[in-house]
Structure 1
Amino acid sequence: MTETPALVLARQIAQRYNQLSQVEAVALAGSQTTSADTRSDIDLYVYITSEIPRDERIKVATQNAFHAEVINEYWESGDEWIDATSGIQVDVIIRHVHWIEEQLERVLKYHQASVGYSTCFWYNVLHS
């Protein structure tokens, strides 16, 4: 993978999250893992074992942000911002490790359908 400004930024953000005791893993997903261009955003999935305190999430999201939305709960819990230096949009999804394990087990082990979501979480984890 070519080292682009977006990948450098993604690595820096991942390192910030990795310093938090609640974080088990950080995965890069979306167009940065496939056919990204210079306008592609960064999609990071942060897998946690317990909730990250609100002030810690704000601290990570606003460290170098032009505009930030923290603890957006529309689909999944997430934080979004625009990096002030590069103008790159950052989209962080926070997932509990236990929750994603249950989703994968439901599909892969028990073959249980979930309307509209039977394989989307599996695809996301597989390609992150």
Structure 2
Amino acid sequence: MGNFYFDEMVKSFSKLEQVDAILLAGSRAVQADDELSDYDVYIYTSNDIPVEVRKEITDQYCSYMEINNQYWETEDDGVLKDGTEIELIYRNIDWLDKELNRVVNVYQASTGYSTCFWYNLLNSKVLYERDGKAGILIDKYSVSYPGELKRNIISKNYPLLNSSMPAYRNQIKKALARNDIISVNHRIAEFIASYFDIVFAINEMPHPGEKKLINIALHNCNKLPELFEHNLTALLLQISSANAADNKQILSLIDEIVERLTQLLVQEGLAG
């Protein structure tokens, strides 16, 4: 990858008997990185690597490292000796296979980010694999986007936008009435997560995650609601406002975003 410390660390981990594969994900894997990009490294194992072994390896190549963070997954997060940030995420390869099977073959949707693991795998670069396990998994899930999965994602997420009892719009309206800005931000984030889950499903594109979503959609999705970028940007700019007029504008923008999305769903024969 053109980084001595990174390359040598990958070599060291590849020598461990527990390691089945090492994949680079994120912007660096697809050559879309910038000066703020870190290394997102997924180390797939059949058995856990002892923490002391991980520390011994990372100490050689990192100036700073937090070992065994458990905030989301098992991770070692730090900084290479050249100053580049790095995340080492440890996953069991059989667990990933089961997660992908649940989504891609059984068509199970989530509330937001339904197909992120799928996107992550298909857009990763294999740095090392033992017995071809990573390549086999990539080949296994390099399939067309299932129509039933698309419908399930829409049917699970669409009512949560504004029509069901626990819909995000209803929760946002109550939070605005209480002047609970934290709750407003939290519910709008969930609203946007479900909204993008639907947008990417309509385009039969696995969900790329949390970063640069508007730009990714603009460059990769042929089917977008009218005023897609304008309305999302306007909504995000309104969040920090606290007066009553801006509160009404937030709800109005949510309604318009849902209306434009509904029009697209009808156009694609996916509504109802």
Q: TM-score range by the shorter chain?
A: 0.7 to 0.9
2:75–2:89 contact (8 Å) kept in structure 1: yes
1:76 matched to which residue of 2?
73
Greater radius of gyration (CA)? 2
Superposition deviation, residue 114 in structure 1: 2.6
2:12 corresponds, among 10, 16, 20, to 16
Question: Which 4+ stretches in 1 moved above 3 angstroms?
Answer: none
How many aligned residue pairs are there?
123
1:47 matched to which residue of 2?
44
Q: 2:5, 2:116 → 1: CA distance? A: 26
Unaligned runs of 5+ in 2: 125-272
- Larger strand proportion, structure 1 or 2? 1
Q: What percent of counterpart residues are identical?
A: 37
**TM-score between both structures, scaled by the size of structure 1:** 0.88
Q: 2:25, 2:103 → 1: CA distance? A: 20
- C-alpha distance after superposition, 1:53-112 (max 9, x if no partner): 11111112221221110111111111111112x111111110001110111000111001
2:5–2:61 contact (8 Å) kept in structure 1: no
1:22–1:49 contact (8 Å) kept in structure 2: yes
Partner amino acid for 1:43? D
2:61 corresponds, among 59, 64, 71, to 64
Asked which structure has the greater RCO (Cα within 8 Å, sep 6+), the reply is 1
- Larger helix proportion, structure 1 or 2? 2
Cα RMSD (Å): 1.5
2:9–2:61 contact (8 Å) kept in structure 1: no
1:96 matched to which residue of 2?
92
Q: 1:9, 1:114 → 2: CA distance? A: 38
The more displaced of 94-103 and 55-64 is 55-64
The verdict on how the C-alpha distance between 1:121 and 1:106 changes in structure 2, with shifts beyond 3 A counting, is: same
